[in-house]
């Protein structure tokens, strides 16, 4: 029997790694990537490592996207856009008022958070529609709220939401979700708040059961919060 196949971008850390761990432990074939080969290599330590195909690289690189297409090997049931850029590439802080954003900052964030997901989805769409699969983009409350200093990131997440749900409108064979996972205790979140104690934020592993519940219930395409779905234990989805 052919395994269900998922592609999770940015699977070497944070929520991406936690989702890769959960899906591979359930027996999914999980293709994932990351820009740091050494950190990506630590996926070998996961219990479901035999089900993981790790492809080092950057989703903004065309050759890397072709490598991801080859790795899914003709089947894709779930495409997760998790990889993203936090904020401007220049300067000492990721916070930046819009008036101070440079063209290079704009290009950097837009390419990672909107351009690459759009092009990667288009590339994989034939195999995703073939399985009547799910497109899941990790969004943020910043996509709908307006926080000073977050404008570039926030606008890119709003753009990601829009292209995700437009893919669903244009391709009724698939179901698409833009999901706000809520605050998490990740390195990315820490980078937003350098020097601050973020230990009160939940670990990304606590968000995964909510995402599994979303996938298990498969509501209509739309924007959701992960917290909208009661946490589903791995055993409940697998029927164990």
pLDDT above 90 as % of the chain: 75
Residue 196 CB: number of other CB atoms within 10 A? 9
Q: What are the residues whose beta carbons fall under 8 Å from the beta carbon of 166, sequence distance 6 or more?
A: none
pLDDT of residue 232: 60
* pLDDT score for 175: 98
pLDDT, tens digit, 9 for 90 and up, residues 151-210: 999 999 999 999 999 999 999 999 999 999 987 777 777 777 777 777 777 788 899 999
Is the pLDDT assigned to residue 103 strictly greater than 80? yes
Scored b (16 or more CB within 10 A) or e, 13-43 reads: bbbbbbbbbbbbbbebbbbbbbbeeeebeeb
The predicted structure's pLDDT at residue 240: 41
pLDDT averaged over the chain? 90
- Does pTM top 0.85 for this prediction? yes
Cα gap 33→50, rounded to integer Å: 16
Return the closest-CA partner of residue 7 out of 39, 40, 55, 45: 55
Q: What is the pLDDT at residue 86? A: 81
Quick count: other Cβ atoms within 10 Å of Cβ 153? 24
Give the pair of three-digit tokens for residue 148: 């000073």
User: pLDDT tens across 25-54, in order?
Assistant: 999 999 999 999 999 999 999 999 999 999
Nearest to 125 by CA among 181, 167, 63, 184: 167
If you search the block for the tokens 């802080």, which residue do you land on? 93
233 pLDDT band, cuts 50/70/90, is low
DSSP three-state, residue 223: strand
Tokens for 37, please give them: 């080969």
The share of the chain scoring above pLDDT 70, in percent, equals 92
Query: DSSP for 20-49?
Result: HHHHHHTT-EEEEEES-HHHHHGGGGSTTG
Residues comprising the chain, all counted: 240
Residue-level pLDDT at 239: 46
What's the pLDDT at 204? 83
Catalytic residues: 153
CB 26 within 8 A of CB 238: yes
Q: Rounded to the nearest 10 degrees, what angle do helices 116-130 and 62-72 cross at?
A: 20
* Residue 122 in this model has a pLDDT that exceeds 90: yes
Q: What is the mean pLDDT of residues 221-229?
A: 95
For residue 238, the model assigns a pLDDT of: 46
Given a cut of 60, is residue 234 above it in pLDDT? no
Greater model confidence, 87 or 117? 117
């Amino acid at each position: 029997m052919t395994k269900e196949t998922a592609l999770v971008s940015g699977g070497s850390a944070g929520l991406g790694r936690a989702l890769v761990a959960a899906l591979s432990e359930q027996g999914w074939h999980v293709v994932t990537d990351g820009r740091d080969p050494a950190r990506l290599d630590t996926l070998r330590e996961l219990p479901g490592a035999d089900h993981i195909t790790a492809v080092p690289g950057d989703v903004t690189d065309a050759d890397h996207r072709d490598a991801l297409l080859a790795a899914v090997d003709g089947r894709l049931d779930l495409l997760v856009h998790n990889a993203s850029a936090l904020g401007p590439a220049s300067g000492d802080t990721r916070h930046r008022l819009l008036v101070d954003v440079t063209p290079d900052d704009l290009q950097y964030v837009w390419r990672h958070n909107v351009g690459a997901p759009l092009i990667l989805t288009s590339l994989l769409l034939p195999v995703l529609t073939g399985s009547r699969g799910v497109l899941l983009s990790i969004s943020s409350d910043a996509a709908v709220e307006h926080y000073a200093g977050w404008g570039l990131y926030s606008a890119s997440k709003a753009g990601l939401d829009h292209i995700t749900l437009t893919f669903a409108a244009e391709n009724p064979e698939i179901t698409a979700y833009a999901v706000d996972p809520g605050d998490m205790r990740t390195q990315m979140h820490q980078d937003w708040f350098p020097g601050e104690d973020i230990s009160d934020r939940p670990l990304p592993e606590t968000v995964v059961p909510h995402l599994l519940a979303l996938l298990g219930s498969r509501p209509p395409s739309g924007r959701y919060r992960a917290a909208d779905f009661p946490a589903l234990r791995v055993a409940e989805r697998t029927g164990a």
